[in-house]
Amino acid sequence: MACNAAVRWWGDSVWGLRGMKISVVGLGKLGSPIVAVLAAKGYDVVGIDANPDFVEKINNHIAPVEEPQLQEFLTEHKARISATSDWTEAIAGTDITTVIVPTPSGVDGAFRNDYVLSVMDEVGRVLAKKSGYHLVVVHSTTMPGSVGGPIRQRLERAAGRKVGPNLGLCYNPEFIALGDVINGLLHPDFILIGESDKKAGDILEAIYRRVIGPQANIARMNFVNAELTKISVNTYVTMKISFANMLGEICDRLKGADVSVVADAIGRDTRIGKKYLKPAVGYGGPCFPRDTIAFGRVAHLVGGTADLALSTETINRRQVERLSDIVAEIIPPAGTAAVLGLSYKPHTPVVEESQGIMLAKALKDAGLSVVAHDPMASVPARMILGDGVRLVSSAREAIVQADVAVIVTPWPEYAQIAPDWVTDGRSRSVVDCWRQLEPDAFEGRCRIVRLGQQETITVAGRQLAAE
């Protein structure tokens, strides 16, 4: 009761909707959707970014990154959105500053704090001349010990005051998936808050209850617990994905086995659940791989072990090899391979740690002729793959040119691949990693090879004969 009353007081009174201003540092893949959603919920938002192009775009209400619904939100709520390159203007004129800048992984797998620390210097410098309470929220993913350690120290040193009654600090990491950021911000599974003190946590909680609604599921704790929780959630999810893929590898070789049937049945057990238990290709993107590696690094740094995280990563790394082996097995000499899907997941152009990119590279390096297609990612893909992989403008074009096509990213349009696309009589296979196509419908036109289904996968010499 006492807590709810406090939240209501902070939320509706001092930190109420009227007059509340928030600055968002970093207008990238997560920052600009955060700006848009906060403005949609009635907050006045000022964005700031080291990239002047992003600042200009936000001021012109143009989405700086591709993300579903972002442009519509920026247009609709433009009256409450602005951006600047002037730190004093952004920080001094707002009550809360949220920070969503990169924390790239170092060679040892630990996240680097350089960008966040330089932001703390800038924010603190302005706060040194600003009186009254200010809350700083770090959204960027950090290693356990960072927010309560070097990040807090840099902020305090620059601001000339301690984190406490006059300066709040929260760690509030994001679990959001690209391609679904706006929806994810509005309907998250839960909100994770690491807080310097109750007042700081109450303010952030009040904002979330306004943005998401009173039902928001919010876990509050100290910084280090929140930092460990963030990478643990992603490591648990990747462990589930790798478990599913390990099962798929066994089903590739076990006579009569179909991984879809087995995974579906396993997922009915409420202790396990179906989410992310979908055997197909390895995980990729800007979070899952590096959070899993960082988890292993944390264990190592504290003198422990993280065997499950390490095995998860090992299984993930060999998924591209698994696909290349299948292609090598079925492609005719001097044949052409097609890779369908180069973004790490549908509805985003992001190709970081993408299985499609890795497969295209592996097939090219194996000396095959490779064509590839992606509905959104051809520009970044070309920068990585170069001229050695021919990018085509439709899935149909890729399949027509190929002897073996592999559907890597489950873009909805790849589920629409139709038998009448291939009428030239050429012998052709489509490796259907997500088992979306109906093999019988393609009878006589092309062979559908369903990943994780031994009836259609035969890796020579490695079959487990059940005779």
Ligand X SMILES: NC(=O)c1ccc[n+]([C@@H]2O[C@H](COP(=O)([O-])OP(=O)(O)OC[C@H]3O[C@@H](n4cnc5c(N)ncnc54)[C@H](O)[C@@H]3O)[C@@H](O)[C@H]2O)c1
Residue tagged active-site, from 251, 287, 433, 446: 287
Task: Decide whether 49 or 313 has the Cβ nearer to ligand X.
Answer: 49
CA distances from 432 to 10, 231, 412, 450 (A): 53, 31, 13, 5
Among 23, 69, 97, 140, binds ligand X (CB under 6 A): 140
**Which region, judged by CB under 6 A, interacts with ligand X, from 42-50, 210-218, 304-312, 412-420?**
42-50
Pull the structure tokens for residue 33: 């959707």
Q: How far apart are CA 32 and CA 102, in angstroms?
A: 14
Is 67 a binding residue for ligand X by CB under 6 A? The answer is no
Is 176 a binding residue for ligand X by CB under 6 A? The answer is yes
Is 346 a binding residue for ligand X by CB under 6 A? The answer is no
Task: Decide whether 173 or 341 has the Cβ nearer to ligand X.
Answer: 173
Nearest approach, Cβ of residue 141 and ligand X (Å): 4
Amino acid identity of residue 201, one-letter, is G
Is 51 a binding residue for ligand X by CB under 6 A? The answer is yes
Pairing of β 44-48 and β 81-84: parallel
Is 49 a binding residue for ligand X by CB under 6 A? The answer is yes
Is 50 a binding residue for ligand X by CB under 6 A? The answer is yes
Is 110 a binding residue for ligand X by CB under 6 A? The answer is no
Decide: 196 and 170 in contact? Cβ < 8 Å. Answer: yes
Decide: 184 and 176 in contact? Cβ < 8 Å. Answer: yes
**Which region, judged by CB under 6 A, interacts with ligand X, from 170-178, 183-191, 335-343, 419-427?**
170-178
Decide: 171 and 59 in contact? Cβ < 8 Å. Answer: no
Is 37 a binding residue for ligand X by CB under 6 A? The answer is no
Counting Cα atoms < 13 Å in the Cβ hemisphere of 222 gives: 7
Q: How many residues bind ligand X (CB under 6 A)?
A: 26
Task: Decide whether 168 or 289 has the Cβ nearer to ligand X.
Answer: 289
Is 44 a binding residue for ligand X by CB under 6 A? The answer is no
Counting Cα atoms < 13 Å in the Cβ hemisphere of 41 gives: 21
Nearest approach, Cβ of residue 291 and ligand X (Å): 8
Task: Give which of 90, 87, 152, 164 is closest to 116, Cα–Cα.
Answer: 152
Does 3 qualify as catalytic in the annotation?
no
Is 437 a binding residue for ligand X by CB under 6 A? The answer is no
**Which region, judged by CB under 6 A, interacts with ligand X, from 43-51, 162-170, 363-371, 388-396?**
43-51
> For 161, left (φ over 0), alpha (ψ -120 to 50), or beta?
beta
Count of residues for the chain?
A: 467
**Which region, judged by CB under 6 A, interacts with ligand X, from 144-152, 163-171, 174-182, 322-330?**
174-182
Decide: 350 and 285 in contact? Cβ < 8 Å. Answer: yes
**Which region, judged by CB under 6 A, interacts with ligand X, from 96-104, 328-336, 367-375, 376-384?**
96-104
Q: How far apart are CA 93 and CA 22, in angstroms?
A: 9
Q: How far apart are CA 248 and CA 421, in angstroms?
A: 29
Is 174 a binding residue for ligand X by CB under 6 A? The answer is yes
Residue whose beta carbon is closest to ligand X = 28
Q: How far apart are CA 467 and CA 396, in angstroms?
A: 40
Catalytic residues: 287
Binding site for ligand X (CB under 6 A): 25-31, 48-51, 54, 100-103, 115, 118-119, 140-141, 174, 176, 178, 286-287
